[in-house]
Structure 1
């Protein structure tokens, strides 16, 4: 169907409800076959996981760093008494132990103690790289790789249901946190091992599961894809939007730093758009010669020329949607 009814390249964000089973790459490949040659994502999900997968199309791929940094919310399930090489139920069992000594109170406390963590070990089966090669590739070949440790933030962690050896939980974390590593570390502390058995990403800020679209529905009706896309001018709802009149928009296209209007402090990030809501650039307010001007961080729909500091002032009408 995708080959018979090709779509033009779209520009915007597709919030996909990734199903359990396929890799994130496989999901993107399915969308790519609908004529979307320029495509990316704002944070992968393991095959076991389902939920919010933020797909970036066309010019939206340029805003990936500013979406990927958003905090994530997950609902997951774990089981005590096993350890696997992947830290989840899809891996090979490497150890088993009784969890009879674990009380509901102890398991609840262990889950809530995740809030105290400031770092974690990256799982050996992950897309993180060592000397340019993914760790999962090295692990599958039995090759040694150093243990990588990364800084993390766990803003909230709560047990939802606890019935040892099983439990469900909800966590709100910084970008890049491996939930299966949280579960693995819990198993080590409980001295019986633990594996993640299910995971749903409920939110990848600023997007939530309620906004997500079913992949099968899209593939069954490719012509519905354009109507499911969040346009670029609405893709960063947590950023202020600055609407420029024609003279100011032209200066931005030429790479000129235009004055920042009232109400925007130094180092504020904003999306600059034309009066027709055409995205022009991602910008940051910076002090230049004693005055705040918009410095272009990333041009959209054609990169602007290198920013100049001596541009002619132009009026900028500013609003927040």
Structure 2
């Protein structure tokens, strides 16, 4: 018999696994392998990668899935390669080739256009993407041969580095806002240069605040289940860039009853902060209680509860 609805698996962990996703499988397939083979039935992610892409995939486990809104929005850093002279329907090398053109470009031309990415404030959403139109993913419309609407989205490109300006095998590194399509950056470059371009490889090197050096390969994770618990970052450490406050038992009880705690105005003291600050509250046992944000309540700054983290299972 299967597990009863809402029954927590005794093997379920709460926290974050930094996975080095391999090129090939979908992000969902990687999560399904972990879900079923390691019995992590409550599982999510902090931003997917295309099948061709590899690198940092934040896998959220148990109560860690509650952190998705606070981990998906961080800056992402990628390195990749592309080829000029080819246009595909997916904007990468795995798509159907729509057009091939001769390339009349110098390394200087390529370098200039890569650096131009930093000037972009919006981009075209690929037809083969999970973005939705009238409730249906664009990729589903495209696969059915239906016309897909041209959608654009705002982006911020904070850093661009040219690693190789060879027109047939250009390489780059870019840091950008969450949700930026790197293959769209490449496609737009090919359009500006008049010859087309397709992404040929992509590695996510960082998903703020976590980096590839901290990641474990999917094969290693699945082959060594006995090491899995020590590879999962505990829930209290999943937002290392947020301040943490350890509460007394009475204050912890107030939080668990939904109370907003006063914001202290003395730096370095318990519950100190300013309006707009975000923090994690811990109980006396160092276990996470809640994510909070300093907001006004009745004209006074208080820590508003964004999300409770204690285990109700």
Equivalent residue for 2:224, pick from 221, 230, 237:
221
Superposed displacement of residue 293, structure 1:
1.5
Q: What CA distance in whole angstroms lies between the structure 2 residues aligned with 1:163 and 1:218?
A: 37
In the alignment, which residue of structure 2 is the partner of 1:150? 153
Look up the match of 1:317: none
Counterpart in the other structure of 2:3: none
Question: Could you say what the CA RMSD is over the residues aligned between the two structures, in angstroms?
Answer: 1.2
Distance 1:147 1:290 in 2: 45
Q: CA separation in 2, counterparts of 1:56 and 1:302?
A: 15
| TM-superposed deviation, 1:131 | 1.2
Provide the secondary structure at the position in 2 that maps to 1:185. helix
Distance 1:74 1:206, change over 3 A: same
Contact 1:7–1:36 (Cα < 8 Å) also in 2? no
**DSSP-derived class of the 2:261 partner:** coil
1:73 aligns with 2:77: yes
* TM-score, with structure 1 as normaliser: 0.90
Q: CA deviation at 1:302?
A: 4.8
Q: Is 1:266–2:270 an aligned residue pair? A: no
Residue 291 of structure 1, aligned match among 280, 284, 300: 300
Say which SS state the counterpart of residue 163 (structure 1) adopts: coil
Q: Following TM superposition, by how much is the alpha carbon of 1:165 offset from its aligned partner in structure 2, in angstroms?
A: 2.2
Q: Is the 8 A contact 1:7 1:223 kept in 2?
A: no
Q: CA deviation at 1:7?
A: 6.4
Question: In 1, distance between residues paired with 2:188 and 2:116?
Answer: 11
In the alignment, the residues of structure 2 paired with residue 260 and residue 223 of structure 1 have an alpha-carbon distance, to the nearest angstrom, of 43
Supply the distance in 2 between the matched residues of 1:97 and 1:178 (Cα, whole angstroms). 23
> How far apart, in 1, do the equivalents of 2:208 and 2:58 lie?
10
Q: Structure 1 residue 64 and structure 2 residue 79: aligned?
A: no
| Cα distance in 1, alignment partners of residues 191 and 77 from structure 2 | 24
Which of 191, 195, 200 is the equivalent residue of 1:192? 195
1:136 partnered with 2:139? yes
CA distance in 1, matches of 2:296, 2:48: 36
- Asked whether 1:18 is paired with 2:37, we answer no
Question: CA offset at residue 295 of structure 1?
Answer: 0.8
Residue of structure 1 equivalent to 2:122: 119
Residue matched to 1:315: none
Aligned-residue offset at 1:97: 0.1
Map 1:1-321 to 2 at 5 A.
8-33=11-36, 34-99=38-103, 101-261=104-264, 262-263=266-267, 264-302=273-311
Q: Deviations over 1:15-69 (max 9, x none)?
A: 0000011000000000101111110001000011000000000001111011000
* Alignment: residue pair count: 297
Rounded Cα–Cα distance in structure 1 between residues aligned with 2:138 and 2:59: 24
Return the offset for 1:289. 3.4
